[in-house]
Amino acid sequence: MTKIKNRRIESALQEKIDAKVLTDISMKEYTTMRVGGKARYLFKALKSSQIIDAINVCLQRNIAYFVLGRGGNVVFSDKGFDGLVILNLAKEIHFDLIRGQVSAESGITNSELVMALATEGLGGIEFFATIPGTLGGSIYGNAGAYGWEIGSFVREIILLVPNFKLSVVEVVKKNGKYLKPFYRSTILKRSQLSIIKRSQGVSWGSCQPIILSATLQLQHKNTEQIIREINKFIELRRSRQPKNIICSGSTFKNPLGRSSREKEVYGDIRKTAAYMLDQVGAKKIRVGDARVSKRHANFFTHSGKASAQDIKDLVDILQKKVYAEFKVKLEPEIEFVGEFENNY
């Protein structure tokens, strides 16, 4: 792009969304793995209407865009992202205490949501406090832990649906059943993955419906009881996963089709991705500065010098090793965005 065109696009975005548009921003600062190049544009959306306005501008001007939560399990290419990254910080929340429901914008963090619910005596998703990220991203991937999945609690969602032919977006309401939640998956994520597979394993931006907000069905519970359960899950997570280092979330899904119930997760460890990775010597493998955590084989870490390509290469190597040993192709939970080399 020319500098003149850059300034025109920046001005159009700035005028439409009424917010500061940043340029040439390193994605290392906005992702948990702390790797990746620069986004051409970035802005922080404080409300859903800004996300809608920004994507309308992108569609009208043929600009790639990517809606980002807290950057867990997203790795941007070292070559950067030639488009607009929309950092979703929209977190308005409304309670319906009679029905035991909460409606929240998708940019609220899981821990913020659970603690807000606790103060109102609403529980049932205490496990959610242990999952880094935002409500939108978690629903998109049907995040879960310890036998629970967030998809089971979703009653309704508000979606932003891009219409590429008309270069506009539509906002639609869907019943929670629309998501068709499965183990670490929804219809939204499955559709995106099918597009990513056709582009050799990487994403070039958002092209599927985006969750703007969701309504969850909860239970009336004692606040003190909810807090105790939250602390129990947090302590369990701390005891099993790496801490105080740069670290991904789970790198790979557990093999497709297995149950996520706690008894089966820990009752037959051979069904887990971590077990398979251990068996192929994953903890001894590194690419550049990227390596597998010594504490848990399904977590990646680095000392601050890894590249995004290092992470991608390590994923590819481990996929091939596990397939050679178990005839199982592990599916990454990491979404790679932008241009990567296929070295393995």
Which amino acids are annotated catalytic? 184, 250, 333
Region label for 288, one of left (φ > 0), alpha (ψ between -120 and 50) or beta (otherwise)? left
Q: How far apart are the first and last CA of the chain?
A: 32
Distance CA 73, CA 315 (A): 12
Structure tokens at 178: 């629309």
Distance CA 80, CA 31 (A): 13
Distance CA 137, CA 212 (A): 10
- Residue 62: CB atoms within 10 A of its CB come to 10
Alpha helices in 142-272 (DSSP H): 187-198, 223-240, 262-267
Strands 81-88, 38-45: parallel, antiparallel or unpaired by DSSP? Answer: parallel
SS (H, E, C) 252-296: ECCCCCCCCCHHHHHHCHHHCHHHHHHHCCHHHCEECCEEECCCC
